[in-house]
Structure 1
Amino acid sequence: MSVTRWWLIRHAPVPNPTGAIFGASDPVADTSDWAAASALAATLPDPAVWLTSPLRRSRQTARALHPGADPLVEAALAEQNFGAWEGLSHDIVAARHPDAAARFWEDPAANAPPEGESFAAVMARTAEALIRLTATHAEQNLIAVIHGGSIRAAAALALDLTPTAALRLRVDHWSLTRLDHHATADGSGSWSVGCVNRLPGRDAAGR
């Protein structure tokens, strides 16, 4: 049985004093936490195929972890697009768009913000990307420096979670989530989960 290993990393934090919503927006990340970067980098395999989303915070974090990497850019692993709410705080959204906000929060996994996409849609495109890239890079290590939403979506694929259940997963900045795909000769396969949201320098118990 062949194994393809995924190392999913959430990008470094983005300074956000106003609590703005950003998904498809492209703010700059703060990658100055050298201790977190070095501790995380020390756990990563070499050689590996590196991937990022098209967003700057993803690419900046990949460079901080491996300055010599030349990552593949995969648009399907980008963060959820919050459409007309990008750049606004939740309080401003509630004040300016009360009806749309109320509808969204009735089912935030299935409903999309105006001009945006739902988390369920993020799950669908992320699953397609993982299956495609697993087949393309079979039996290799794939390090994807991406986003909280797309990491939750990837874990949901491995764990067979609903969109609502997947939104309960915590995914911190600089955290590692490990997924393995086990392929079989008949073309079928299965996923296993090594860890979710492991932070640099902490053991499996979170200490």
Structure 2
Amino acid sequence: MTRLHLVRHGPTHARSMVGWSDLPADLSDRAALDRLAAYLPEAGLVISSDLSRAAETASAIQGPRTRLPHRQDLREIHFGTWELRTYADIEAEDPELARAYWDQPGEIRPPDGESWNQVRTRVDAAVDALIAAHSGRDLIIVAHFGVILSQIQRALNLDPQEAFSHRIDNLSVTEITRLASGWSVGRINHRP
């Protein structure tokens, strides 16, 4: 049994599509970070995406826990040419594609970006590798909205649209356990 504690990074306050752009997190809410750090298992291994908003959040909650190297394959969705643009701007440019990407996630992708199915494949492989390397441990994975949704989708066997219906707040924890017989989902979007 390996338990995943999927933590969404601190807020960036960006009002645009932020995927692979390296924006910092606002970590000024020390009380929320302290509650989060206290809630997470003391013996957990901490790992994060290599983007600074996740890496900095991981450092803020790490405490005495062991830190594993950052992983690029735990990055957010790559929005390609939509990166750092507002949805309104993207929709004005290509309303059909903009709506289809969010309403019918799967193979549809933004220009020069990745589809939801590509995100799932990338993140599933990263999480599987972590589980294989650290079987039986608590893994505290500090990552992004898309990363967390991909694992909810997998564990609950949802279609992409159902997965996107879940809310994942900044500094929340989603708990998923990998059992020999499959997956077990605990809390989703828990704010300690």
- After TM superposition, the score normalised by the length of structure 1 is 0.86
Match of 2:31 in 1: 35
Secondary structure of 1:142 counterpart: strand
Deviates more, 1:157-166 or 1:167-176: 157-166
* Equivalence map 1:45-56=2 (5 Å): 45-56=41-52
Match of 1:191 in 2: 183
Deviation at 1:55, TM superposition (A): 0.6
Deviation at 1:105, TM superposition (A): 4.9
Deviation at 1:106, TM superposition (A): 5.3
- How big is the alpha-carbon RMSD for the aligned residues of Structure 1 and Structure 2? 1.7
- Counterpart of 1:63, as a letter, is S
Unaligned ranges ≥5, structure 2:
none
Question: 1:68-99: CA deviations, max 9, x gaps?
Answer: 55332122211000000101111111223345
- Given the alignment of the two structures, is residue 59 of structure 1 paired with residue 51 of structure 2, yes or no? no
Which of 53, 75, 80 does residue 78 from structure 1 map onto?
75
Which of 170, 173, 176 does residue 176 from structure 1 map onto?
173
Deviation at 1:39, TM superposition (A): 0.7
Secondary structure of 2:186 counterpart: strand
Question: 1:37-58: CA deviations, max 9, x gaps?
Answer: 0111111112222110111100
Secondary structure of 2:13 counterpart: coil
Unaligned ranges ≥5, structure 1:
184-188, 201-207
Secondary structure of 1:46 counterpart: coil
Deviation at 1:101, TM superposition (A): 2.7
Deviates more, 1:51-60 or 1:62-71: 62-71
Deviates more, 1:98-107 or 1:120-129: 98-107
Equivalences, count? 191
Identity %: 37
- Counterpart of 1:142, as a letter, is L
Question: 1:141-195: CA deviations, max 9, x gaps?
Answer: 1000000100010111111111121111110000000011112xxxxx3110111
* Equivalence map 1:1-207=2 (5 Å): 3-16=1-14, 19-67=15-63, 70-98=67-95, 100-105=97-102, 107-183=104-180, 189-200=181-192
How far apart, in 1, do the equivalents of 2:136 and 2:162 lie? 29
| Contact 2:74–2:147 under 8 Å retained in 1 | yes
How far apart, in 1, do the equivalents of 2:99 and 2:188 lie? 31
- Structure 1 stretches of 4+ moved >4 Å: none
Secondary structure of 1:177 counterpart: strand
| Contact 2:46–2:62 under 8 Å retained in 1 | no
How far apart, in 2, do the equivalents of 1:158 and 1:108 lie? 18
Secondary structure of 1:88 counterpart: coil
- Alignment CA distance shift 1:4-1:103 (3 Å): closer
Q: Which has the larger radius of gyration?
A: 1
| Contact 1:23–1:82 under 8 Å retained in 2 | yes
